[in-house]
Structures are given as C-alpha cells and as structure tokens.
Amino acid sequence: MNQNNQSIQNQRSLPVEENPCTVVLGVTGSIAAYKSVDLVSRLRRSGVDVQVVMTDNAARLVAPLTFLTISRNPVVDSLWNMPRWEPGHIALAEKSQLLVIAPATANIIGKLAGGIADDALSTFALAHRGPLLIAPAMNPRMWSNPTVQENCRVLRRRGARFLGPDSGSVACAGGEVTGGGRMSEPESITRAVLASLYMMEHSSGKSGGKRHVLVTAGPTYEPLDPVRFLGNRSSGRMGYALAECAVAAGHDVTLISGPAGLPPPLGARVVRVNTAREMEEAVIRQFVVSDALFMAAAVADFRPAESADRKIKKEKGCEEERVSLNLTPTVDILRSLSEIKKTSQRVVGFAAETDNLEKHALAKLRDKKLDWLAVNDVSRQDIGFDSEENEVTLFSSTGDKETIAKASKLAVASRIVAKTLKD
C-alpha cells in the first residue's frame, strides 16, 4: 500500500498582503448599488484586493469616493480620467484574476452579450480574460424579458456564471414589487467569489469535465414530540462550502441540507430535509443520477422508537423522576449506497472523530466502500462543530493519505473538491 503522507499548508485567508488576489468589481446603475459597498468591505476583510469600475449611472447613485474609501484603491468611473498614462482597462485586465459585476443591469448584460464597449466598465470587460461572475439586479418584468434571458444564455455559453438573482421585493419608481430580479446578498456573493478564487488557485489544467455532484450537509432532527427533537451540533458549514466550491469548479450541484441557518449556495439546487429518513430518501433519489457524492451531513445514528403526538409534559412534583428514551438505529446511508454504487461514481465520506482518527478512518473506508474519507478531530475546540475553520486528513481507497492543514472551511473544501474530482 502506497502511503503518501503529504501536508498541504493552507493560508488562513485567501491571499497574503505581499501578493493579494485582485478582483475587479463592476458597479452599474441599479439601486442595488448600495449593496456593493458591503460587498467590497467583505472582500477586503477576506484579504482580496478590490478594484472598482463604475458606470456613470452607478456614480449618480453611490459616490465613487465611497468605494475609494472602502476599497483603498482609485475608482475608475470614466475612460477619460485615468490616473496613469497607460490604457487603464488594459493595465487592470492584466493584473485581475476575476471580474464581478454586481449589480448587473439589463443594459450591461446586453452590452456584454453584444460586445459593446462604450464606457469604462464595458471596455474593461472586453479586455478581461479571466472568469466573469454576474449578479443581476432589475425589475422582475425586465428580468423575465425574452431578450434579457437570451442575452444571459449567450453569456452562459461563453462561460459567464450568474449569481442569482433572488426573488423578493425590488424597489421601482412606482413602489416596491415582488418577483425575480433582486440582487443576491453580499454575503452569498462574497462566498461565491472566494470559492472561485480558491478553485482557480487549485486548478492544474486537468479536468474531468462537468459532473453532477451531490452534497449533503447539516444535522438531522429526530422528533421526540412536536416540540423536542434529538439532534447534533453540526452547523452545515462544511457541506455548504463543498457545494460552493463544486459550483465554482463548474459542476452541476445538488445540495441536500438538514436544518441549517445558512444562506443557500448560489448556483446549487437545494433540497431541504429534517430527519435521517428524509435524508436517506433524498440521497438515494439523487444518487442514481449523480457522478459524485460528498456525504458531509451529520446524520443521526439513532432516533426515538416512537414520537409522541403531543408535547411530553413534566408532571408537577416529579422532579426526581427519571425518564428513559427508547432509541432505534437509523439507516447507515453510505453503507446502503455501496450496494448500488457504480464503478464510475465517486463517493467521499466524512467522519467526525475524537480519538484514534486513522484507525477509525481506515475501518470506515473499507466498511463503506468509499473512494475517499475526510476525517477531522471534533474534540478540538478550534476546528470542531460550529467552527469557521477546519483541518482534515484525506484517506483514499488506493492508500493515499493527505493532511489539509487548518484553514477556513471554504479553503479546506476547495482542496477536497480539487483533489477528489481532479480527473
């Protein structure tokens, strides 16, 4: 057995101060431009160098000085006031890794689709050669217009990725209306941007092509009565990060999530479940049409043998009385999948252990016929449940062993996705 024990040293945040990643944020004339200030702030706190390019209409809504203050970089809002002698759109295109347009109006989407360059942003976009992320924001009627939708299809075929839009209240001249067209929230866009940068960092030029990827996340809740349940401390963050990175890598992603108070990953289909039985049914239904599964959910091992129809009350005067629960095992989903798994499918399991990590990992890897198993030590307070960071060791069925050092869960997820789906 080939034991390749390699430790990957991940940085705590994405870039280092001496060589930060550069993201160009295009801001257009939607009222949602105010959200872009928060987006710049979040990206800056993540260590990203943000360069803002604004349209003239955007500058009428949010002053360029606001973005200069938050980004700490000069703001480009015209082709005619470049701070240096070289053509600004070319110089910026040469140093940027990613172009994000948020908010993106119907106007800029049409310009991008038609190759029009008549202002600073559209001119830069034609010179940009890296990935393009677009976060639309417009009136629901405009978003549903056939011409707008056709322009979006054109851009998708060229490789652009759309972040949203969401459904909700949208500010219009006649008051607020509800429907599709609301710009996605800055928190979700930030995570999509970081996931894209991480996956670009790990790209080796080799790709197994677009896959149907299934990810599970979060805890399950097993009801005792209409009020109480048996659950666990899983936050779902690791599974959501895996879904975000798989989307960023260009895969078709379905996320099956137990109860988790997290925003859905942009670009992933989300199936909501509560119990282990619901998780089992959803996973089996989706697994048969999937190429890969990341089983990151913390599915309950036991559930109450019976669930009461009404709230179980504590009788007055019986404070010393003990109550016993009759528990029954839940189905081991990964073990059951081993009976229907095709040789072409990849299955990555996750195990939260408190002791003898390698011994337990190798046993689970063999027992459940997994291709990979990621193990973390939840006895550690800095990487356990509810933590923003993680550290895992990957074991493969071929004998490889690789430690992914402590980093944000998004950074760790990007390493796992890149490693397990690389060819």
pLDDT tens for 142-195 read: 999 999 999 999 999 999 999 999 988 776 655 666 778 999 999 999 999 999
Q: Is 21 a catalytic residue?
A: no
* Residue 173 confidence (pLDDT): 56
* Residue 114 confidence (pLDDT): 97
Q: Return phi, psi of residue 115, to 5°.
A: 70, 30
Contact 35, 103 (CB under 8 A): yes
* C-alpha distance from residue 296 to each of 41, 205, 269, 347, 351 (Å): 30, 27, 16, 11, 8
User: pLDDT: is 409 or 380 the higher one?
Assistant: 409
* Residue 73 confidence (pLDDT): 93
For the ranges 9-13, 83-87, 121-125, which has the lowest average pLDDT? 9-13
* Residue 82 confidence (pLDDT): 58
* Residue 316 confidence (pLDDT): 67
* Residue 168 confidence (pLDDT): 81
Structure tokens at 302: 């036991």
pLDDT in tens, 352-403: 877 778 888 889 999 999 999 999 887 787 786 778 899 999 999 998 899 9
Structure tokens at 308: 């009461």
**pTM of the entire predicted model:** 0.90
Is pLDDT at 243 greater than 60 in this prediction?
Answer: yes
Q: What is the DSSP letter of 388?
A: S
- Annotated catalytic residue within 21, 172, 245, 318: 172
Nearest one of 280, 202, 199, 277 to 243, comparing CA atoms: 199
Reported as a pLDDT band with limits 50, 70 and 90, residue 421 is very high
pLDDT in tens, 214-227: 999 999 999 999 99
pLDDT in tens, 247-257: 999 999 999 99
* C-alpha distance from residue 367 to each of 86, 121, 338, 392 (Å): 62, 55, 9, 20
Asked if the domains at 22-192 and 207-307+326-420 fall in one CATH topology, the answer is: yes
Delimit the domains of the chain by residue range: 22-192, 207-307+326-420
Q: For the domain 22-192, what is the CATH superfamily, name and number?
A: Flavin prenyltransferase-like (3.40.50.1950)
* Residue 11 confidence (pLDDT): 37
* C-alpha distance from residue 101 to each of 33, 124, 152, 184, 421 (Å): 10, 11, 13, 12, 29
Q: Mean pLDDT highest for which of 42-51, 226-235, 313-322? A: 42-51
Reported as a pLDDT band with limits 50, 70 and 90, residue 228 is very high
Q: Give bridge partners of residue 350 from the DSSP assignment.
A: 374
* Residue 202 confidence (pLDDT): 84
Mean pLDDT, residues 230-259 taken together: 95
Query: What span, in angstroms and rounded, lies between the C-alpha atoms of 381 and 330?
Result: 28
Reported as a pLDDT band with limits 50, 70 and 90, residue 80 is confident
* Residue 176 confidence (pLDDT): 65
* Residue 317 confidence (pLDDT): 59
Q: What percent of the chain has pLDDT over 70?
A: 89
Is pLDDT at 204 greater than 70 in this prediction?
Answer: no
* Residue 49 confidence (pLDDT): 95
Q: CATH topology for 207-307+326-420?
A: Rossmann fold (3.40.50)
